[in-house]
Amino acid sequence: MAMVGFGEFLLAFLLFVLIYYWRLNRHAPITNWPVLGMLPGLLLNLSIIFDYLTMLLKHHRGNFMFEGPWLSNMKIFFTSDPMNVQHITSTKFENYGKGDDFREIFEVLGDGIFRSDSQLWKYNRSILHSTFKQVSFQLFIHKTINNKIESCLLPFLDHAWKQGTEVDLQEAFQRLTFDVICSTVLGFDPTCLSIDFPEVACEKAFTELEDAIFYRHFTPRCSWKLLQWLQLGKEKNLKESQEIVDQMLYKEIASMSKVQGESIGNSTPEEEPRFSLLDVLISEVGKGKLDDKFLRDTAINLLAAGRDTISACLTWFFWLVATHPSVESKILEEIHEKLPAREGNGKDLGVEWLSQLTYLHAAISETLRLYPPVPLEHKCPLKSDMLPSGHWIKSNTMILYSLYSMGRAEEIWGEDCLKFRPERWISNRGGIIHIPSYKFIAFNAGPRSCLGKAISYTEIKMIAAAILWNYRIQLVEGQAISPRVSVVLHMKHGLKVTLTKRSI
Per-residue model confidence as pLDDT tens digits over 76-116? 999 999 999 999 999 999 999 988 888 898 999 999 888 88
Q: Which of 98-112, 456-470, 481-495 has the lowest mean pLDDT?
A: 98-112
Domain extents for the chain?
30-501
Whole-number pLDDT of residue 40: 78
Binding site residue list: 450
pLDDT reading at 271 higher than 50:
no
Decide which of 300 and 284 is more confident.
300
> Do residues 189 and 259 touch, judged by C-beta distance below 8 A?
no
The answer to whether residue 265 scores a pLDDT higher than 50 is: no
Binding residues for heme: 450
Distances (CA, A) of 40 to 43, 162, 195, 322: 5, 50, 45, 37
Q: Is the pLDDT at 128 greater than 80, yes or no?
A: yes
At 3-54, the pLDDT tens digits run 556 556 555 665 565 555 555 554 456 766 677 777 777 778 888 999 999 9
How many CA atoms, within 13 angstroms, populate the side-chain half-sphere of residue 19? 6
In terms of phi and psi (left: phi > 0; alpha: psi -120 to 50; beta: otherwise), the region of 265 is left
Alpha helices by DSSP H, listed for 106-232, are 118-133, 135-148, 154-163, 169-186, 201-217, 221-230
Q: Average pLDDT in the 183-202 region? A: 90
Contact in structure between 185 and 112 (CB atoms under 8 Å) = no
Please report, as a single letter, which amino acid is at residue 392: W
- Span 200-209, pLDDT tens digits: 888 889 888 8
Superfamily of domain 30-501: Cytochrome P450 (1.10.630.10)
Angle between helices 325-338 and 358-370 (to 10 degrees): 140
> What predicted TM-score, i.e. pTM, was given to this entire model?
0.88
Say what angle helices 453-470 and 358-370 make with each other, to 10 degrees.
110
CA–centroid distance for 458 within its chain: 17
State how far the Cα of 256 lies from the Cα of 440, in Å rounded to an integer: 38
* Residue 273 binned pLDDT confidence (cut-offs 50, 70, 90): low
